[in-house]
Amino acid sequence: MEKNIHFYSRAFSRLRVNRSKGMAPHKPILLLSVIELIGQEKIKQNQIFLSPELIASFLKFWSQLGTESYRPDIALPFFHMKSEGFWHLKAKPGFEAIPSSRIRLRTIAALHDAIQYAFLDAELFNLLQTPAARTALANVLAMKWFPHGKTDIERMLEINSLQALQDQLQREGGVVYGPEDLKEEAEFVVRNTAFRRIVISVYEHRCAFCGLQIIDPFGQGVVDGAHIMPFSKFRDDRISNGLSLCKNHHWAFDRGWFSIDEGYKILVSKSLREESPNARPTSSFDRERILLPAKEIHVPRPDALRWHRENVFNSPG
C-alpha cells in the first residue's frame, strides 16, 4: 500500500493503546504535539527530540484531552510508539540494541540517556510539511480518540505552550512552588526550562559576573540561568532568585568562590589561588558591580544574596 495520507489516517486511527483503565490517550496526544511543533517549525528535520518544547506541548494537550485515569507520562508513548511502524528510535552510541530489545525505558531521564531522537517514516514527515495534511491528520486523531472533547484542536495547535508559560512567568516575576507542585518529571522539566530561559533573556545572554556573551547561530549561548538559593532546598523559581552566569562563574558561584554584597558588588574569596595567564583573573573582579536586568522585578533579591553570602560564600564544599 502506498504510504500516503490515507495510509497514515488509517494508522492514526488504529493506534494500539492501553485500555485497562479506559482509553490511554498518550499516543494520540504525542502525535498532536509533534504535528504542532512541525507546524511551528520547532521541528524542522525528521528528528524528534524529547525537548522541553515537546513536553510542554504534550502537557498542554493533556490538560485539555487527557484523563484522570492515567498520568501524563510522555516517556511512555515516546518509547512505545515504535510498535506502530511509522515511529522509529535513534539510539545513542552504545545503546543500539535497546529499540529492538524487550527493555522498556520508562522515564524522561532514561530516554535521554539511551535515545538520541525519534524519527518518522520519511513519507509521513514529508506529508506533515503541508498545513492541509497537518490539519487532516490532527482531525483524524481528534475524531477517533477525543470525540467527546469539546476542544478546538486547530486553535490549540497554534499555541506555543512553552513560550506562553515563559511570557506569563516573566510578567509575574516567577513563582515559588509548594511541596505538592512539580511531582511529575515532565512538569519539572518544562518549568525548569522556562525559569532558565527567562533568567538568561533578562540578562541578554550575558554573564552577570564577567559580561561574557557568546551566542551561536542556533541561539545557544554560553551562560546558564542559575539559582542563587538552590532550587532543591527552596523551590524558589522567582526570577529575583536567578543570575545569568557563564559556565566558569556558575561553578565558582555555587562553590562560594565569590558572592555579591547588598550593593550588587562582587566579593571574591580571599582564599582563592589562581593563575590566569590568558583571561582576566577572578580576583580582579573584586568590588565590581554585577550586570543587572532592566526591570526591578527581575533584579536579584537582597534576601537571596544574603543567604548566599552567609551559607555558600567561603564555605568549602
Interface positions with Zn ion (CB under 5 A) = 207, 209-210, 212, 246, 249
C-beta closer to Zn ion: residue 94 or 277: 277
Query: Cα-Cα-Cα-Cα dihedral of 98, 103, 107, 112, to 10°?
Result: -10
- Cα(first)–Cα(last) distance of the chain, in Å? 63
Minimum CB separation of residue 231 from Zn ion in Å reads: 21
- Give CA separation, 258 vs 225, 247, 304, in Å: 17, 14, 14
Minimum CB separation of residue 291 from Zn ion in Å reads: 10
How far apart are the C-alpha atoms of 317 and 302, rounded to whole Å? 24
- Bridge partners of 236, per DSSP, are 176
Residue 193 three-state SS: helix
C-beta closer to Zn ion: residue 8 or 203: 203
Minimum CB separation of residue 214 from Zn ion in Å reads: 11
C-beta closer to Zn ion: residue 19 or 280: 280
What are phi and psi for residue 76, nearest 5 degrees?
Answer: -60, -60
Residue 16 three-state SS: coil
The CB-nearest residue to Zn ion is: 207
C-beta closer to Zn ion: residue 77 or 242: 242
What is the H or E stretch that residue 265 is in?
none
C-beta closer to Zn ion: residue 121 or 286: 286
Minimum CB separation of residue 215 from Zn ion in Å reads: 14
* Spatial CA neighbour of 112 closest among 95, 129, 130: 95
259 Cβ contact list (under 8 Å, min separation 6): 253, 266, 267, 305, 308, 309, 312, 313, 314
- Return the amino acid letter for 232: S
C-beta closer to Zn ion: residue 121 or 288: 288
C-beta closer to Zn ion: residue 78 or 209: 209
Minimum CB separation of residue 73 from Zn ion in Å reads: 38
Minimum CB separation of residue 272 from Zn ion in Å reads: 15
How far apart are the C-alpha atoms of 174 and 185, rounded to whole Å? 19
C-beta closer to Zn ion: residue 23 or 292: 292
Minimum CB separation of residue 315 from Zn ion in Å reads: 21
| Helix, strand, coil in percent for the chain, rounding step 5 | 45, 15, 45
Minimum CB separation of residue 246 from Zn ion in Å reads: 3
